[in-house]
Each structure stands twice: as structure tokens, then as C-alpha cells.
Structure 1
Amino acid sequence: MVRSTPKHASRTFIFVISCFGLLAAGLVADLLWASSKSSSGYHSIASNWAFDDSRSTVIVPHQQPQKAKEGSAVKDKKKADVPERVLSATFADLPAPELEWEKMAPAPVPRLDGAAIQIKNLLYVFAGYGTIDFVHSHVDVYNFTDNTWGGRFDMPKEMAHSHLGMVTDRRYIYVVTGQYGPQCRGPTARTFVLDTKTKQWSDMPPLPVPRYAPATQLWRGRLHVMGGSGENRHTPALEHWSLAVKNGKALEKEWRSEIPIPRGGPHRACIVVDDRLLVIGGQEGDFMAKPGSPIFKCSRRNEVVFSDVYMLDNEMKWKNLPPMPKPDSHIEFAWVMVNHSIIIVGGTTEKHPITKKMVLVGEVFQFNLDSLKWSVIGKLPYRVKTTLAGFWNGWLYFTSGQRDKGPDDPAPRKVLGEMWRTKLSL
């Protein structure tokens, strides 16, 4: 048998070691190159995302899809290597100019889902929730001339406390249907009229069936009541009734059926201008009483907020006008007329797509009736729903409602009685 000499074995050993060394060096270089590419890719993605300390919603930045040949373990590792980012919940806010707001004397009580009617320099503020378990049953009056509250008086005991339909002919205030009591109690069909000069209340024929927050207006000598929520508080209603009225009295004993509204639901602005009746915004669905609850405890259901604008004119057919800049609800008393424009203050929009929480509105909208164009003309001091608005001597006022949790959280928090104003020039 032939054996290898020691010298030959040594050369073979050196050759093998060299091969291993070259292979190891190649692997290290390859790993360093891959690490460099991964790091570079992360920084490229991260540069497109800004940090936000609001901690409202956690999201993960978009990543390029991995090739099909890479295993799921590699994909999971890649995802784990990308840190989470925070997206501010103010995603729904629209760009708007700043307005200079001045805080005025607060209302005597905080109100949510109350109602308000302006007659000349007086703003009559009705009813509303004080808390979810307590409702108001009186009227407070704000005088725009001297910027003071006063002249409180009671409502009829049978009158609804929230979700009211309400309109005025500049002396008489017509009050239609609404929710009677706190939490999510049932509606009443009772209808009343207030003589603001004598502070006397009178009965009117009840609505054919009760409704929550129907769109309500006076048009062509008739009191029109449209939509709202049905008797379960959630189902959108399409019915439209009218009643002939004059000087605070009903001229008919029964309500007349009119053309149904194209889309039902509560919490809409309803305005008559240039002999046209407009219905703006609103929602489908609302909180309902929890089944079997002895106090009719409110339980949330799905709601759809919309930006639709409908109009009735001489043809007595509903027509679509340009929609609002974004969906908006809880605005039935949050509007004023200024120089042939409709101004709408605050409200609620579609819920947050991730947290599913209610999102309040912090913008002031203008609908120019000459151009039929919408614009965002300013920001409120905070986002707020069910505001009660007025306009006097160049000043836009709003009071009451429920505000947001803060600049980075548009969900509802505290019920307020604050009064604010800003100079408005259009």
C-alpha cells in the first residue's frame, strides 16, 4: 500500500483551509451587503411617515410585497423589523383658515341635543340633555345686544326634551314631536306653539306618528315635517307631512301627506330660502334603547352619516344639489343665513375607520346660494356637535353641544354650555 508523505499531507491541509476561508469571507460579505440593503429600504419607507404623539391609532407603514419564493418566516421577520407608526385621529379634519374666537358668558346650563331659534336679537334655547340621565324642561334666552342670558321660562310638561323639530315665523315658534325623557326613551307625537311676545304655549294637532329629530320648516303657509328616525329611534323615516298654519294657529285638523324625502334620517339642517326648501346632511341610524333596560339605556347601533343636499321648488320634486365638503350630521340648529349663504357650524361625520368611534366636526362651512358651491371658511375653537348657532351685527355665535377630547382626539367628551363668537365677513 502506498502512503502519502508528510510533505504532501501538509499541502493538502493548507489547500482545504484556504477553501474554507474563502467561502467564509464570501458569506460574511454577502450578509453585510444584505443588511445594508435592508437598512436602506427601511429608512426610505420611514421617511414618508411622520411621528405623532397622540397615540390615537396604531398603523403599520406600507411595505413592498415579498417575492413568492421567500418563506412565510422571512415575511414575518421583515414585518417585525418595521416599527409601528401612530396616525393622528384628526384624519377627518379639512384644511381651514383660523378664526379669532371670543368666549362670551356661558349658558345657564350645559345642553346636548337641545334646540334654538333666533328672533331678531334674541336666541331662544330649548330643552336638551344635561347629562344622559337628566333632561332640561325650560327655555333660556340670550340677548345679542348686551350679550347676556336671562328670561328663563318653563316648557309644557308634555313637551319633548330632545330631538325636537322646530321653526319660527319670527313671532311664533312651532315645536314638533321629539324624544320625551332621558337616555333613549320613546318619542311623543305632541306638537306645540309658543307666542314669544306673551310667553304663552298652545297645543296643535299631533303628528300622525312620533318621530325623532325630523327636518322641520315653514314653507308657503304650511308647517313641513320630513324624515327623522322612526319610533325605534334607529330606522330612518321617509314620510313628509304638512299642516296649514297662520299666526300660531293650525288652520287644519289633520296633517297632509306630501312627497316623501329621498333619504330618511335625523339630525339635518332644513332651510327655506328664495321660495326653495333645502334639507342638508344628516344620518341614517342612531342609538337605541337596550332591550329590556328599565331605564331605556342607550345602546349604539350602526350609523351612516351623509353629505346629501336635497331641494324642493315649484315642481314639487326633490332635486339633488352639490353635496357638503364631507358628511355632516347633528346640525339641525347649527346653521345661520349670512349674505345669501348658509353657514353651518360643527356636527359629526363618519366614524373613525379603525377605532369606530364617533368623530366630531371642527369646521365652519359655507354654501353660497348664488354659485351653489360649498367652501370651508374657518375652524371652531374645538370640534363640537349639536351646536346652537346665531348671527347678529356681523358676529357668528354658537353655544352648547358636546366637544371633542382634545386636538388629537375627535371623539366626543364633555357636554358644554359655553358661548363663543367670531366676526364674520362674507
Structure 2
Amino acid sequence: MAKFTHHHNHRHSPWKKLALVALLASFVGAILIADSFYASSSSSSPAYLSLASNWARQKPEIVVLPNVPPYREEAEKKLEETEQKKGPHRARILSDTFADIPAPDWQWEELPAAPVPRLDGAAIQIKNLLYVFAGFGTLDWVHSHVDVFNFTDNTWSDKFDMPKDMANSHLGMASDGRYIYAISGQYGPQCRGPVSHTFVLDTKTKEWSKMPPLPAPRYAPATQLWRGRLHVMGGSRENRHTPGVDHWSLAVKDGKPLEREWRTEVPIPRGGPHRSCIVVDDRLFVIGGQEGDFMAKPGSPIFKCSRRHEVVYGDVYMLDKEMKWTTLPPMPKPNSHIEFSWVIVNNSIIITGGTTEKHPETNRMMLVGEVFQFHLDTMKWSVIGKLPYRIKTAIAGFWDGYLYFTSGQRDRGPDNPQPKKVVGDMWRTKLSL
């Protein structure tokens, strides 16, 4: 009994109370630190992100000042109005829809979804058929087949396998209208490195052939067929993170290489993956992208993804027939994950979705929900519409006056532009330019 009484008194002593409070404070602090670390990954849990979103609304907002007129002028005006209403100490406001640019609302029609959801897949449109390759189903599961969408009757009409040693995501890809060239990319799930394998698909016979491997593996390289040569440039190096500026080309014709080795060309002005690469009017354009990406965690047997610092940019470069790079006006805002998110319509390039700069306070990835137009006659950008939701690595197509997009990773809702669900949705809207 005495022992029990002594323990009882000891438990309620002031020193023990202080120790208990300190212990609880340490426990809460540890949770917050762990939570903050976990939130730096795009794979954060829905429960946490729901809490973080509600928390963010209680903080002061931040008015984002884009680099390109007229959007910067609009943001500056909003900042000035906010300062007048709330005073200078509350003028910087953080919006849940960080960096969204005002754009017209479009009417979208939802069509049959792809047979599987996919992220970081590749695609080529040949006439009325959209060939959609590979991609992540989840971070631990990758696809190794091709789904085909028929724009004529809006159905997923075919499916066939890819070679077993072909990359499963982050491929470079181009076509001459019959043959599809598949270049390098990442083999396997999580954050494995790229391979140097290259293949060509005959879309009429559905037969695959191998071509000479790249001089070095590349992750998500910008790839395009131009002036009889297959050009591969930029991307990330073997660790997925270090930008590559190398530029190689290979002469090809009717699905066959005309050379045994790739030729070294003029380096691209800025390296990195996740860019649009387009040929129009005998000019090659490389648009957007980023420097840096997730890497495999050191020592992880499954190459578990580990986040690294990334810089998203909106740079636009053009390569002319004299093999000289020219810097053109940047996108309205930095944009990445747009490799297959583009179409060509009425002498302009249309780009759908993507990812922009990280959130200024949470440093989380922010998705893009705007549709951009690059006018090839004036070399100027416009923001022409909104998608049904923000999305990255969307796959775009254009047929009979309709803009289509499918697949990718969408946002968490209208008020939360962070990435969440990998989807296979297919949408279209009538495009009037």
C-alpha cells in the first residue's frame, strides 16, 4: 500500500507534470516533422492532404506574379487591391489554386475511358488512330502494351504487346505516319534508371524491330523525326535527376536505320525531361520541361522513389535547318510533364495541362489545368481554355474539329491542385480557333 501511495504522489508531482508535458510536446513535434517530410512527396496520403488543405486556408494568401504579360499586370493589380483592403502586412495571399491563370470555361464531353489508367505513358496519333503506350498503373506496376483509340467511332478498338525489354515509361517517341520510333526511357516500376534500347513499330503489321541503341541511356528525352533523321536530345541522365544536354540523330527511312551509330549534333541550350518536342514547317520546337526529378533511394532493393530538388521552366527553343538554336518567348507559366500533351491546329501548337512551379510555402507539386496556344505566325502565347480538371502527362489528340485528351494524373479537386489519382479518362471538346 505504501508503495502504491508513493507512486501515486510521485505521478502528480510538479516535476512529473512538467516532464509529461515535455514528453507530449516532443511527441507532437516528432509527428509534425515526420508529417512535413512525408508531405514533400507527391504520394502523400489523402488524410494528410485534406488536413493540410484546410490548414492552408487559414494562412495569409500569396499573390503569384507570372513572368509573362498580360498575366503579370493582372497579378500586380490584384496585389495592389489586396494591399488597399487588408494592409501591407496581409497583402501576400496564398491561394489553394496556386498559379492558375484565368481562362475561358469550355464544355467537355466524357467518352469511354482507356482500358487501364496510366501515368507517364507515350502516344502517337496516326490519322484517326491514337496509339497509347506503356506508363505507370501505380508506382509499383507498369504497363507493357499498347491501347488504340479510334477517333472515328470514339472507341478503344485494339490492344497489343510491346517487346519485353522495351522501356515502360518516360519514352521518347516519334512517327513518320506509319512507323513509330520508341526511344530509351525507364524500364520497370518505382524509380529505376533509363535504358538505351530503341525500337520501331510498323503500325500496319504490328511488328516490332530493334534499332541501334542510344550512345547513353536517357530518361524522357525530347524526340522527333526531322529532315530524314530521328533526333533525340535533353532528358535526364542515368540517375533520372541530372539534366542531359546531349543531342544525337540517326538517319532512318521506312522504319529502318540507315546508319549503325548515332551522330552527335549541336547540344540543346537547356537539358532536362518532360518537354514537348514538335516539328512544324521544317522547324523543330522544344517547349517547357524541368531540371531534376525523383531518384532511387540509395540502397533500396526496389529502387524506391526519393524526391530531389526540381526546377520547372517554360523555355521555348527552335532549331532551324542550319542547326542553330533560337530562344523564343516562354510559356505563360513554367510547365513540365507535357511530352505528349500537344497537337497542331491551324498553324498553332496547343498544349494541355502539365505541372508548374512548386507551391511557394509547402513545396508540393502543382498541376496545370489550362490549355495554351502558341501562334506560329507571331510566336506568341495565349491561354485559351480550361480542362475539366488539372492534369499532368495528359495524352492529347485532334480529330474532326475536336481536341481530345486522355490518361495522366489528375488533381485532388477544384481547390487543391496537388496530384492524386492516376486516370484513364477520355474527354473531348469542340475547338474553335
Q: Tell me the secondary structure at the aligned position of residue 325 of structure 1.
A: coil
1:122 alignment partner in structure 2:
129
Q: CA deviation at 1:85?
A: 10
Q: Tell me the secondary structure at the aligned position of residue 193 of structure 1.
A: strand
Hey, what's the Cα distance between the residues in 1 that align with 2:321 and 2:60?
54
Q: 2:234 aligns with which of 227, 232, 252?
A: 227
1:160 aligns with 2:156: no
- Superposed, 1:3-402 pairs within 5 Å as 55-60=55-60, 87-402=94-409
Q: CA deviation at 1:343?
A: 0.1
The C-alpha deviation readout for 1:218-245, integer Å capped at 9, x for no partner, is: 1110000000000000000000000000
Hey, what's the Cα distance between the residues in 2 that align with 1:269 and 1:85?
33
**Match of 2:59, as an amino acid?**
I
Uncovered stretches (5+) of structure 1, i.e. residues with no partner: 1-52, 63-81
Question: Contact 2:407–2:422 at 8 Å: present in 1 too?
Answer: yes
**Percent identity over paired residues:** 76
Hey, what's the Cα distance between the residues in 1 that align with 2:178 and 2:375?
27
Hey, what's the Cα distance between the residues in 1 that align with 2:183 and 2:201?
11
1:415 aligns with 2:429: no
Q: Tell me the secondary structure at the aligned position of residue 98 of structure 1.
A: coil
Hey, what's the Cα distance between the residues in 2 that align with 1:398 and 1:151?
18
Q: CA deviation at 1:86?
A: 7.5
The C-alpha deviation readout for 1:295-322, integer Å capped at 9, x for no partner, is: 0000110100001000111331111011
Q: CA deviation at 1:59?
A: 2.9
Hey, what's the Cα distance between the residues in 2 that align with 1:54 and 1:368?
40
**Match of 1:418, as an amino acid?**
D
**Match of 2:210, as an amino acid?**
D
The C-alpha deviation readout for 1:222-275, integer Å capped at 9, x for no partner, is: 000000000000000000000000000000000000000010000000001111
Hey, what's the Cα distance between the residues in 1 that align with 2:91 and 2:266?
53
Quickly say closer, same or farther: Cα 1:85–1:247, change in 2 above 3 A.
closer
Q: CA deviation at 1:366?
A: 0.2
Question: Contact 2:119–2:136 at 8 Å: present in 1 too?
Answer: yes
Quickly say closer, same or farther: Cα 1:235–1:250, change in 2 above 3 A.
same
Q: CA deviation at 1:371?
A: 1.1
**Match of 1:368, as an amino acid?**
H
Report the TM-score when normalising by structure 1. Answer: 0.81
Question: Contact 2:370–2:387 at 8 Å: present in 1 too?
Answer: yes
**Match of 2:214, as an amino acid?**
L
Question: Contact 1:57–1:355 at 8 Å: present in 2 too?
Answer: no
Q: Tell me the secondary structure at the aligned position of residue 252 of structure 2.
A: strand
Question: Contact 1:58–1:86 at 8 Å: present in 2 too?
Answer: no
Q: Tell me the secondary structure at the aligned position of residue 56 of structure 1.
A: helix
The C-alpha deviation readout for 1:163-213, integer Å capped at 9, x for no partner, is: 000000000000000000000012110000000000000000000000000
Quickly say closer, same or farther: Cα 1:61–1:117, change in 2 above 3 A.
closer
Hey, what's the Cα distance between the residues in 1 that align with 2:90 and 2:168?
50
Question: Contact 2:374–2:381 at 8 Å: present in 1 too?
Answer: yes
Hey, what's the Cα distance between the residues in 1 that align with 2:307 and 2:172?
22
Q: Tell me the secondary structure at the aligned position of residue 98 of structure 2.
A: helix
Uncovered stretches (5+) of structure 2, i.e. residues with no partner: 1-52, 63-88
Quickly say closer, same or farther: Cα 1:244–1:89, change in 2 above 3 A.
same
Quickly say closer, same or farther: Cα 1:369–1:182, change in 2 above 3 A.
same
Hey, what's the Cα distance between the residues in 1 that align with 2:125 and 2:417?
29
Q: CA deviation at 1:87?
A: 3.3
